[in-house]
Amino acid sequence: MSSSQDPPGAEEVATPGYLSPVKTNGKVPDEDVRSENSESSNETQAGVKRIEAISSTWTTASLTFAYLGLYLMAFTTSLEQQTTTNLTVYATSAFSEHSLVATVAVVQSVIQAVIKPVMAKIADVFGRYEAFSISVFVYVIGYIQQAASNNVKTFAAAQIFYSAGWTGLQILQQIFIADTSDLLNRALFATIPDIPFLATVWAGPPIAESLIKHASWRWGYGIWAIVLPVAFLPLALTLFLNQRKAAKLYPLPKRVLTRQSAFASLKNLWFDLDFFGVVLLSAAICLILLPLTLASLAKGGWKNASMIAMIVIGGIFLVCFPFWERSKRLAPHALFPPDVFRNRTVLAGYSIAFFYFMAFYLSVYPYFYSYLLIVQNQSITAAGHITQTFTFTSTVTSIIVSILIKYTRHYKYFITLGSAIYLMGIGLMIRYRTQGVSTGVLVGCQIAVGIGGGMLNVPAQLGVQASVSHQRVAAATAVFLTILEIGGAVGTAISGAIWTANVPKKLAAYLPDETKGQAAAIFGSVEVASGMYPVGSPTRAAIDRAYQETMTTILIVAVCVCAPLIPLSLVMKDYKLDELDQRVKGKVIGGTRNTSGLDQEGSSPDGEVQPPSKKRFLDRILGHRRQNAADP
């Protein structure tokens, strides 16, 4: 389709290696054009070409159906999250290891961190449909293993599959939205996976309470192994059918595993997925963070040789990781592409993600729920609702902010304002998250933190996406969400270290003589701490005091962690989103079908998107006028 401003006789000629045609003046493109296109094509991995072909075949009806399927799957995983979040303390307590809830959370966070870029790479190498299918399969394995766990070690190991599947779906949902929306509408559509939380935050806790009372925590995990695959079918069917349609219209690249020998395929997968980089990063994070939650429980504490060895080896791995990633020979498709770190907006966005989630996992998870059950004497349902007030409020706020971004065309100062509100909310927690405070005050603090979180999270991700080309969107988004989860892992590890170091000592100091021997049982089980000793008894007062003082310490650390958010938000560039065009190919929401196939105008060599300058705009107009004047 030629533009009305094209010179007469212009037509589209498909060039080798390109799904979209290049405009010419009725001539076959010369060798330079073909060479440039071929080079660009070679830099585009097979899965990216595949989704570009699929995007070119979307119709309004099929894209709508795909988004409905995406929403159904998001609703299912959201309800599961809101249910199982309330079951973790009961699962660990069943093994008399309630204090290890932080260790389980660290394992979850580490897996969620390192699996995001892996899933993004799988999506780029194989395709979006294939990556979604792998995530669902791994997710189901995690459900089954958690439900069948007989000890806390097996339960923690199950987090590898469970977290890999859940976080894979999370990143793939955002990549799919980035594939099918323009920048101006992307913030709004990026909130679609969060919309179900508006209902599930209220539905999940009662379901969890019903399961605890009438069935078991095991059923709370096992049932989703049946529900999730059924919920995935509509989206899977849409992607699969559109992929078949695209294969008939465009020469889709063959899959890596079907066009080469077994050795060559494994070699390519090793480099394409950066397997060693994944192992190096995940091992480094695990070895550094897990001792923080385990040291107080180990024989000899921090003097234990195993704790020291884990920290030292983890530190060595962490130092080696950037050198590995920078080597084009060892990591040609790096887990963290070096070029995305050359942009100040990207770096600031990544830093905001780190500190934002680190503070969240200090102030809200993993011990706030236990604190509500014990110190505030809340029911399972009430504690779940109070905890999830953050999720509800942040979701509503992010939707409102996304709409405002669409009409203001700017995102930066939403991050700044959100950071200030977030800091204020956590500061209020220190003052008002105290024993005997009303439920309304607890909820009010959660609302303030939720508003701040909703204002800064989605705009920060959008700012990162706006700073890179479409080829880098998946990688940049994956790194953003990876660093987000690493921040959560660090926050969880610190809160776990504070909790396991302080609560046992305080219980030993405050418990009456007749119950001092029960300190280990109280520390190990939330059910013992909240159910065996009535409110007002000396033992319960000692338990409440130990938990309260420890929670206050954790919140002070959370406030300190929030401090960098405001200055970091000011570092980000204030892009005007309607002036940026990432040249997303195919049918996109809010945009038109792009058939140029050329790199976006305004891209810098490192992939940063630059707003079109006035000079470039004037050059276009003057050049067009000169051409018209020359025409007879």
The pLDDT tens digits for 111-126 are: 777 777 777 777 777 7
DSSP-assigned letter for residue 532: S
Helix (H) or strand (E) holding 476: helix 470-510
What is the pLDDT at residue 383? 83
- For residue 76, pLDDT over 90 is answered with yes
Residue 609, pLDDT > 60, answer no
Pick the residue with more confidence: 623 or 464? 464
Q: Using CA atoms, how far apart are residues 522 and 528, in angstroms rounded to an integer? A: 5
Of 11-25, 167-181, 391-405, least confident by mean pLDDT is: 11-25
What is the per-residue pLDDT for 259? 55
pLDDT at residue 533, rounded to an integer: 79
Tell me the pLDDT band of 585, cut-offs 50, 70 and 90: low
Contacts of 532 (CB under 8 A, 6+ apart): none
More confident residue, 583 or 428: 428
Instruction: Tell me the HSE value of 457 on the side-chain side, using a 13 A CA sphere.
Output: 29
Burial of 531 (0-12, 13-18, 19+ CB in 10 A): exposed
Angle between helices 60-84 and 380-408 (to 10 degrees): 150
Q: How far apart are CA 594 and CA 596, in angstroms?
A: 6
Give the integer Cα–Cα distance in Å for 456 and 398: 8
Range among 255-264, 473-482, 581-590 with highest mean pLDDT value: 473-482
pLDDT mean across residues, the chain: 75
487-to-357, 561, 576 alpha-carbon distances in Å: 5, 10, 29
Q: Please state the rounded mean pLDDT for residues 46-54.
A: 65
Of 381, 394, 395, 386, nearest to 364 by C-alpha is 386
Checking if the pLDDT of 464 tops 80, the result is yes
Decide if pLDDT at 73 tops 70. Answer: yes
Average pLDDT over residues 361-365: 82
Query: Is residue 613 scored above 50 in pLDDT?
Result: no
**pLDDT score, position 227:** 92
Ordered structural domains, the chain, with CATH = 1-37 (no CATH), 48-274+333-571 (1.20.1250.20), 275-332 (no CATH)
Question: pLDDT, tens digit, for every residue of 319-335?
Answer: 888 888 888 888 887 77
Place 362 in a pLDDT band, splitting at 50, 70 and 90. Answer: confident
What is the per-residue pLDDT for 388?
Answer: 80
pLDDT (mean) for 539-566: 90
Q: How would you class 98 by CB atoms within 10 Å of its CB: exposed for 0-12, middle for 13-18, buried for 19 or more?
A: buried
**pLDDT single digits (tens) 169-190:** 888 888 888 778 776 777 778 7
What percentage of the chain reaches a pLDDT higher than 90? 11
